[in-house]
Structure 1
Amino acid sequence: MFPIVTAMGSLPVDSYEEAKALVAAGCPQAPHCPQLPVVCKEDLLLEQGLAPWERAGLIRRLPDGRPVVDRSADGFAEALARFSRICGVGECGVDEPIEWYSNDESLFAQKSPTYLRFRQDLLERAWPGNVNWVKAQLAGPLTTARYVTDERGQSLLDDPQLRELVLASAALQASWMASDLRRLPWPVMIFVDEPGLVGLGREPGCDPAMAPGETAGFDGSDDVVRRFVRTMVQAVGQTGALAGLHCCGDTDWSVILDSGAHVVSFDACRHFAGMLRHTEAVRRFLDRGGLLAWGVVPTEPEALEAATVEGLLQKLAEQMAAMEGKGVPGDAIRRQLILTPACGYGLRAVAEAEKAYELLGQFSSRIKKAGGRGIRL
């Protein structure tokens, strides 16, 4: 049934039960796995991507807690060789199974307890509401490689060996998570979160550590970007789950839309103009059955405070009309629709998350009343 209403993942509350109540109220038919970065460091985006690296002994922490991949550390070369074998990178091939990612020491079983409880609630049919879809999310390798550095302060994206290892590790994480959730009786979506794609297609020169959503230049090659995105899509898709890609800023959307992703998620509040520049790629994406996830609920405090369901639906209708005016079939836009917030609320105030999920719940109620015919725009 479309449109689907779901959300990004991170929430500012400090308990699983609070998060569960928010998700159940806002996304009753398509719950997402909650992540709680305020109380669980491992739920922070970069920490998700680095969890296997830390377990492999490849991470050193600076005094402020920031992670560094330090080649000069004792035993680093041996640890790197072993991790490369595990990830299937290099001549040695895989010498340990994917269960290395899913046993009791893994990110998902120990480091992120909300994942375990979310999965268990669903397995035991203890999740409230009438579930039709299940969504989870994890850090994308481009973001990890772009924002994590080595001991010299260089991005891992600049080192071919470490860059490939970031990709291989992330693909295994995504494959394990998708396979794990596919045990559930509902279809599964896995979103790969790639705020590091911000600025792709723009001139480099801005600070690469700037906040997601700003238009920094991107200094990675298009070939690397396309291969990273497609590898992650394939890792999820081969399990039977839908592979989604989320970027909360402006980017070269044609790269993502043409990647084979089943779902493309964007910030329709602040960056619709960027998507509108790529309507030919949008048309191709929808023609092959892709789902476009419109981030219609704001994350910016002032916009969120002023938001109403009627106002958001009106803005969505105007944006759809603008896209249709550029040749994208309107029936496909409305039929292949997911509604979400623009981004996560993990670093926002609790009251802001509550307001956002109240709006999502109102969307869900309208869809339910429409009997599956969608929301009247």
Structure 2
Amino acid sequence: MKFEPQSAATIIGSFPHLKAEQACALVFSALAKIPAWPQLPRRSFLEDMTNQYSMRLPCFSVDEKNKKSGFDTSRDLSGELERFYTKIIEDDVEYFGTDDKHAAGFSCYINELRNRKGDNFIALKGQVTGPLTLGLLTDSVDGKYALYKPDLFDAIVKNCAMSARWQVRRLREFSDTVIIFFDEPSLSVIGSGFYAVDRELVAGAFNEIIRGIKSEGGLAGTHCCGNADWDGILELDLDIINFDGTDELIIDKFINSKNLIPFLKKGKTIAWGIVPTVKDKIEKATIEEIKMNYDSMIARLASRGVEKESILNQSMVTPSCGTGTLSVALSEKVMSLLSELSVKI
């Protein structure tokens, strides 16, 4: 599938709003080309990124009152695994769909799409939480990370793939081009020394999810708002990679990755997280500064021998991360600057 977004704007997902209708209205007013459904973690703890897609996972437990979640294998682990894998073997994609308790913004988004069938969107975007981030949740029985428990981690990967497939199916009712990001803020822990992470295990998990998305005709992307092993990520069969374009160390490492040029030569897309979402940065941000920073990054990449026009055609612009931790006013500023940037490019 050839995809040239030509620096169109989209979002990462989270908003500080309590009402899905308000967040959806903001999304559709700001994103003329690639709207995405809003996640609302302040509305409910069930919409926290670790809980939103985990309701089908074996032995997953959520304590809404104390805002804690993780695994509890003191429950009937073998029985819950059996029920889970029965759904996998049956390829019961519908079973892994979300609901209004966990994703109020999704149904609001679908309703808006039904009302906007004449709008000229070039793609629609959804998102799930990535397997590494979920794998760093612990089992209350022994305190071990799910990443180190093969039965739980395999279930996490398959759950992620099925949730992503379900979203592609729903969104393809409204657009031939559907993008699904699996959001991985925890990618930065690989090689950090804080966790013993098997790179091959993580790469295999990512590839399984990517295959799932593509099996439904979707485009697979990932978002990481920290530094990461960009060389390794760029070797995966991803269609889109989103990174924090407001952090100079991350920018330098990403743009100079040995695998970035081969990635672009395959026709893949960079999603530049150029609009800041850190409170002190967004308070001071101006469209002139953001546009200057974007132009500078494009020029730096072009200096590596890639035509500027090709880079712009194979680019998207996004906030550096979700806006769920900001005030509503600052979230709206992020969206306003993002919308203005996409027009000025």
Q: TM-score, normalised by structure 1?
A: 0.84
CA distance in structure 2 between the aligned counterparts of 1:315 and 1:360, rounded to whole angstroms: 13
Deviation, 1:329, is 4.1
CA distance in structure 2 between the aligned counterparts of 1:338 and 1:252, rounded to whole angstroms: 21
Q: Secondary structure at the match of 2:189?
A: coil
Q: Deviations over 1:111-130 (max 9, x none)?
A: 32221121122123279x64
Query: What is the match of residue 288 of structure 1?
Result: 266
- Is residue 2:216 matched to residue 1:239? yes
Q: Deviations over 1:193-246 (max 9, x none)?
A: 01111132x3413xxxxxxxxxxxx42111111111111111111111111111
CA distance in structure 2 between the aligned counterparts of 1:96 and 1:296, rounded to whole angstroms: 38
Return the match for 1:15 from 13, 16, 19: 19
Deviation, 1:70, is 1.7
Q: Give the aligned residue type for 2:253.
A: G
CA distance in structure 2 between the aligned counterparts of 1:148 and 1:108, rounded to whole angstroms: 25
Query: What is the match of residue 351 of structure 1?
Result: 329
CA distance in structure 2 between the aligned counterparts of 1:264 and 1:145, rounded to whole angstroms: 21
Query: What is the match of residue 275 of structure 1?
Result: 254
Query: What is the match of residue 161 of structure 1?
Result: 151
- Cα-Cα RMSD: 2.1
Q: Give the aligned residue type for 2:252.
A: A
Return the match for 1:50 from 44, 54, 58: 54
CA contact (8 A) 1:49 1:141 kept: no
1:341–1:58 distance in 2 versus 1, CA, 3 Å: closer
CA distance in structure 2 between the aligned counterparts of 1:198 and 1:80, rounded to whole angstroms: 30
Unaligned runs of 5+ in 1: 88-93, 206-217, 367-374
Greater alpha carbon shift after TM alignment, 60-69 vs 317-326? 60-69
CA contact (8 A) 2:131 2:156 kept: yes
CA distance in structure 2 between the aligned counterparts of 1:203 and 1:140, rounded to whole angstroms: 18
CA distance in structure 2 between the aligned counterparts of 1:160 and 1:12, rounded to whole angstroms: 35
CA contact (8 A) 1:230 1:259 kept: yes
Q: Give the aligned residue type for 1:65.
A: K
Query: What is the match of residue 132 of structure 2?
Result: 142
CA distance in structure 2 between the aligned counterparts of 1:327 and 1:180, rounded to whole angstroms: 40
CA distance in structure 2 between the aligned counterparts of 1:292 and 1:195, rounded to whole angstroms: 17
Q: How does 1:80-159 map to 2 (within 5 A)?
A: 80-87=81-88, 94-95=89-90, 97-102=92-97, 107-108=98-99, 110-125=101-116, 130-159=120-149
Q: Secondary structure at the match of 1:264?
A: strand
Deviation, 1:163, is 1.0
- Is residue 2:182 matched to residue 1:192? yes
Greater alpha carbon shift after TM alignment, 269-278 vs 118-127? 118-127
1:4–1:60 distance in 2 versus 1, CA, 3 Å: closer
Query: What is the match of residue 227 of structure 1?
Result: 204
Deviation, 1:77, is 2.5
Unaligned runs of 5+ in 2: none
Deviation, 1:110, is 5.0
Q: Secondary structure at the match of 1:147?
A: coil
CA contact (8 A) 1:150 1:156 kept: no
Corresponding residue pairs, total: 339
CA distance in structure 2 between the aligned counterparts of 1:126 and 1:43, rounded to whole angstroms: 27
Q: How does 1:267-346 map to 2 (within 5 A)?
A: 267-270=244-247, 271-278=250-257, 280-346=258-324
CA distance in structure 2 between the aligned counterparts of 1:306 and 1:45, rounded to whole angstroms: 28
CA distance in structure 2 between the aligned counterparts of 1:291 and 1:241, rounded to whole angstroms: 14
Deviation, 1:67, is 1.9
- Is residue 2:259 matched to residue 1:255? no
CA contact (8 A) 2:117 2:174 kept: no
Q: Give the aligned residue type for 1:80.
A: L
CA distance in structure 2 between the aligned counterparts of 1:203 and 1:38, rounded to whole angstroms: 30
Greater alpha carbon shift after TM alignment, 78-87 vs 188-197? 78-87
Q: Secondary structure at the match of 2:243?
A: strand
- Give the % identical residues: 27
CA distance in structure 2 between the aligned counterparts of 1:96 and 1:231, rounded to whole angstroms: 15
Return the match for 1:70 from 51, 69, 72: 72
